[in-house]
Amino acid sequence: MSEEYSLEIVNPEKSFLLKDDVTEVVVPAYEGEIGILKDHISIISFLKPGIIKVFSKSGEDSYYVNDGIIEFKNNNLSILTSLILNLKDIDKVKISEIQKSAEEELGNSEISDQERYLLDQKIEVLKSIN
């Protein structure tokens, strides 16, 4: 019996990734990191800034996501995100720019506690990448 399922990652510009040989995906959800294997219970969850790890027969890939929504149903995982970057092709300048922008936003005294939490999370993940 096959242990694989389908994954599609979409961002506003395009369909970013489509794979049919995925064995596990680990996503940074608000509830914590969620590992999704074949036949996982149906789930819809929000993503926080972090790293998505995709395990497949062709190897392991990691991607930075800013935010997003995941849906897993009938062995199909869909991830919708506003920003996704492949860590293999990461541009250190772009990461620094995103981090600097987040740090500037964090200095705004009018942001909510939730926005502050997400910005702190984003900055920590970007520091770990850089």
pLDDT on residue 1: 54
Phi-psi region of 15 (alpha: psi -120 to 50; beta: other; left: phi over 0): beta
Per-residue pLDDT, 27? 97
Break the chain into its structural domains and give their ranges: 5-86, 91-129
Which of 73, 80, 55, 51 is CA-nearest to residue 3? 55
What pLDDT is recorded for position 73? 97
Residues lower than pLDDT 50 in the chain? none
What is the per-residue pLDDT across 10-23, written as a single tens digit (0 to 9) for each? 998 889 999 999 99
Sign of CA dihedral 110, 48, 31, 87: negative
* Residue 4 Cα distances to 12, 42, 73, angstroms: 27, 16, 14
Give yes or no for a contact between 16 and 49, defined as CB atoms under 8 angstroms apart: no
The pLDDT value recorded for residue 80 is 97
Q: Which CATH architecture has domain 5-86?
A: Sandwich (2.60)
